[in-house]
Structure 1
Amino acid sequence: MKRIWLVVPALVVVALAGCSAGKSANNATSSGAASSSSDAATTPDPDTDTAAGDGVRIALGETKKVPIPADAVMDIRAPADWGQAANGLRCTVVDSSGRNEDLRSSDVKKTESVNGKDWMTVWTFSSAPIGDVTVGCKDPDSKIAAAHPSPVIRVVPRGVFPVPAAR
């Protein structure tokens, strides 16, 4: 059950890759995810990371549904080369009942390399593993969009190990 958080994002990545390979992304997406269909229409970045476990990629200004695996905390990550401009991101996470999730941040940004590209954790949140949450980030000052073409963030699960019950 602990490894399920690896399987769910992998299935999402595979499903999204299959949708973008078709001629019409609108036929493969539901009407509730209309904003995600524009990802398939954008030109892919040559160093796009689509391996299993890389999370869900979301273009700035758009929202996507993200599955919540069991035993995980979710990280919202931005490319490390965005530097201090990433601190200006305004992100929201809404569960299926319309409730906003609390986002946490720290001054020390954890950085991780994925397929040769460094990503830093900007926000962290946790949610009940009952379904999906809708995640979106905006760049209100347009600092990132001006300097980086096709800016995207990633929402990635980070495993949390359960504490054993006291005997």
Structure 2
Amino acid sequence: MHPTDPTPGWTVAPEPVGSPVAAALWRAYYTEVSDRWYLLHEGRRTDPAELERETAADPGDHLAPPTGRLLVARYGGTPAGMAGVRLLDASTAELKRVFVYEDMRGRGGAALLVTAAEDAARALGATRMVLDTRGDLVEARALYARLGYRETAPHNDEPYAEHWFGKDLVGVSPSV
């Protein structure tokens, strides 16, 4: 990265969905969002059997080429976060699994990942990015709003989705 880059130390690159790095990040992401939901609604953490079942049931194949991309951010060469993008149709991509390890947060990695996912969506032919998230994921909602995403009507019926966002990707310069 260029020395004047606002996120020195970070790199982002495509990652095979089935790699050990991708699997570890998926497990960490799922554990965090699941634990947050269960602690809020049931006062407990995710059951280990559920964690195993759910991470195995959704390996992220929808984020694989040719219609998707999984991106991994590394800080100082160490895997630190991920974001995925998949085409929903010829012009609409969906942002998925934006995650940065807790000890790496606050260093610009999440914004870098979202920007890289937008670039990947453009490369796939998308002119619009959409996403969904939950109400308790306030940090994610703040990040998306800061990056120009606006709340929209629902674009899916995901059981845990409570907020939907969209952003036009045309007329916006890809990152360099």
TM-score, with structure 1 as normaliser: 0.36
Bigger proportion of residues as strand = 1
Q: Which has the higher contact order (CA 8 A, sep 6+)?
A: 1
Bigger proportion of residues as helix = 2
